[in-house]
């Protein structure tokens, strides 16, 4: 990857209205965002820097879709604020046509506030829901 | 792959049916909600003729005896995998030893009565006359030609492992393809051979009255209760071939809709037939619930089938695309 390509990519992002882009290849990891850019050469297994765990996690959109707080069959939220949730449990859903992709809790915790309204179209990486650690 | 821990009566292995066997006097069998079974197979990347388990009495519990990808569709049974709650119409991976629990169907935005458990690769039982469906009347097909019992073990065929650990779901077709008449679920009906021999009052009742699903309703047939449907003069017919969906009217005037385990012939007059594209709606109608019939035409019945096929094709496309994305991570 060259800096010329980065220039093209940022231009495409601006055209498409994309705020943030993350890309990993066999030998690089790249993250572009408005007002912040990070890049790293090396193995693909490299994780983003600054990984010290904050007390409250923010779970982000794993794909583009319509964010749902509740399953279409249900009146109740999948993870109401304050509910204890298991790692892997769906906190919300992203609807793409008839497909429902879960926004899953990365670890056991207490569901926090929804950061985006029910039935909002969201992009990849959009912060969707807060997850608090279990009290010790 | 799985061991049945707890089951009520009448959980059976079913696929999409033993089509083409009527010529031997063998009924079709197959999932009452064929759309739910098809969706389960799509979630898993299975062949469309893969078999699953149809569950109609709850609670139902199964233990996974090996790591296994599975899907649950049909009635919303508040499924859990150990203590992890699963959304309805969902695909999930289980580890050996984990227990899947299905509770009583929740009657919310969609009232339904049957759940389907599909396994990656399909439930591996021998094909008999071209199908894995349990033929209860003939006691063949499925697992030893009978309903499942506690302690039964079922194997899965070779699964599409590339996307093993992905969890996702589908929006139930009852929401995407709703069909209501007034405030009640409805099914579309074509007039059948003896329709013209019924009174005007019977015709009016058929299309306008409400029909209650009686407790004498099962995989063989749904006995409905409502205004008696009476012929102008008594009708006598010889026994003749019938198919699932046919609405027979015995002398008491209370219609019986033939379902997937119906015998292949009968002698009662036929006032109508529920179109194939809507049989799943009736197959999910709970005992005691009420439905309506909507009169339709041949062309509209064909169009309804095409609409269902489009829903399934689009679901398969989206699932393939989603699994493709995940593979590249």
Please answer yes or no on whether A71 and B319 come within 8 Å at the CB atom. Answer: no
Please answer yes or no on whether B108 and A88 come within 8 Å at the CB atom. Answer: no
Please answer yes or no on whether B76 and A78 come within 8 Å at the CB atom. Answer: no
Which among B28, B9, B3 is positioned nearest to B134, based on CA atoms?
B28
CA dihedral for B157, B277, B183, B211, sign (positive or negative)? negative
Give CA A122 to chain center in angstroms. 10
Q: Are B94 and B81 in contact (CB under 8 A)?
A: yes
Measured between beta carbons, the chain A residues lying within 8 angstroms of B108 are 73-75
Mutate to test the interface with A, among B40, B71, B85, B87 (most CBs of A within 10 A): B87
Measured between beta carbons, the chain A residues lying within 8 angstroms of B87 are 71, 78, 90, 93, 100, 102
Q: Could you give the dihedral angle defined by the CA atoms of residues B261, B267, B273 and B276, in that order, rounded to the nearest 10 degrees?
A: 30
3 state SS of B201: helix
Reading chain B (329 residues) residue by residue, the pLDDT tens digits are: 899 998 888 999 999 999 999 999 999 999 999 999 999 999 999 999 999 999 999 999 999 999 999 999 999 999 999 999 999 999 999 999 999 999 999 988 899 999 999 999 999 999 999 999 999 999 999 999 999 999 999 999 988 766 667 899 999 999 999 999 989 999 999 999 999 999 999 999 999 999 999 999 999 999 999 999 999 999 988 999 999 999 999 999 999 999 999 999 999 999 999 999 999 999 999 999 999 999 999 999 999 999 999 999 999 999 999 887 444 43
Which among B51, B94, B88 is positioned nearest to B72, based on CA atoms?
B88
Q: Is B182 exposed, middle or buried (0-12, 13-18, 19+ CB in 10 A)?
A: exposed
Please answer yes or no on whether B315 and A98 come within 8 Å at the CB atom. Answer: yes
Query: Residue A78 CB: number of other CB atoms within 10 A?
Result: 22
Task: Tell which B residues from 303 to 322 touch A, by Cβ distance under 8 Å.
Answer: 311, 314-315, 318-319, 322
Alpha helices in chain B (DSSP H): 34-44, 173-176, 200-208, 279-284, 298-327
How far apart CA A90 and CA B87 sit, in angstroms, is 8
Tell me the nearest-neighbour CA distance from A8 into chain B, angstroms. Answer: 23
Instruction: Copy the structure tokens of residue B8.
Output: 């009520």
Residue B323 sits at the chain A interface (C-beta within 8 Å): no
Please answer yes or no on whether A86 and B108 come within 8 Å at the CB atom. Answer: no
User: Can you name the residues that pair with B81 across neighbouring β-strands?
Assistant: B84, B100
Please answer yes or no on whether B87 and A78 come within 8 Å at the CB atom. Answer: yes
Chain A residue with minimum CA distance to B74 = A73
Mutate to test the interface with A, among B171, B310, B312 (most CBs of A within 10 A): B171
């Amino acid at each position: 990857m060259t800096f010329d390509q980065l220039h093209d990519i940022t231009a495409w992002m601006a055209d498409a209205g994309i705020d943030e882009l993350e890309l990993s290849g066999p030998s690089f990891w790249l993250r572009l965002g408005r007002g912040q850019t990070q890049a790293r050469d090396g193995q693909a297994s490299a994780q983003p820097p600054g990984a010290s765990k904050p007390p409250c996690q923010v779970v982000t959109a794993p794909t583009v879709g319509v964010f749902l707080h509740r399953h279409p069959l249900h009146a109740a939220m999948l993870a109401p604020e304050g509910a204890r949730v298991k790692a892997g449990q769906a906190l919300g859903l992203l609807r793409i046509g008839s497909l429902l992709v879960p926004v899953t809790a990365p670890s056991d915790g207490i569901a926090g506030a929804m950061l985006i309204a029910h039935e909002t179209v969201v992009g990849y990486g959009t912060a969707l829901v807060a997850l608090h650690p279990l009290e010790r | 792959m799985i061991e049945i821990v707890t089951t009520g009566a009448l959980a059976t292995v079913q696929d999409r049916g033993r089509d083409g066997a009527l010529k031997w006097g063998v009924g079709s069998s197959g999932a009452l909600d064929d759309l739910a079974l098809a969706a389960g197979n799509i979630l898993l990347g299975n062949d469309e003729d893969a078999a699953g388990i149809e569950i109609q009495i709850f609670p139902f519990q199964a233990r996974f005896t090996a790591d296994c990808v599975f899907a649950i569709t049909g009635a919303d049974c508040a499924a859990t995998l150990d203590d992890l709650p699963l959304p309805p119409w969902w695909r999930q991976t289980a580890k050996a030893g984990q227990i899947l629990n299905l509770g009583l169907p929740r009657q919310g935005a969609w009232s339904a009565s049957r759940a389907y458990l599909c396994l990656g690769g399909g439930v591996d039982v021998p094909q008999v006359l071209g199908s894995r469906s349990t033929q209860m009347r003939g006691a063949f097909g499925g697992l030893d030609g009978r309903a499942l019992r506690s302690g039964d073990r079922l194997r899965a065929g070779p699964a599409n492992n590339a996307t093993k650990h992905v969890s996702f779901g589908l929006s139930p077709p009852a929401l995407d393809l709703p069909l209501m008449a007034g405030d009640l679920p409805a099914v579309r009906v074509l007039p059948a051979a003896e329709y013209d021999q019924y009174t005007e009052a019977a015709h009016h009742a058929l299309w306008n009255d409400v029909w209650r699903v009686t407790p004498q309703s099962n995989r063989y047939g749904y006995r409905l209760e409502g205004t008696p449907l009476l012929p102008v003069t008594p009708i006598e017919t010889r026994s003749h071939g019938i198919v699932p969906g046919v609405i027979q009217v015995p002398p008491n005037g209370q219609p019986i809709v033939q379902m997937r385990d119906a015998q292949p012939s009968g002698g009662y007059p036929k006032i109508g037939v529920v179109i194939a594209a809507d049989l799943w709606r009736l197959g999910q109608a709970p005992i005691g619930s009420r439905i309506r019939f909507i009169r339709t035409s041949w062309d509209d019945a064909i169009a309804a089938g095409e609409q269902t096929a489009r829903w399934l094709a689009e679901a398969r496309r989206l699932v393939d695309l989603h699994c493709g994305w995940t593979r590249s991570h």
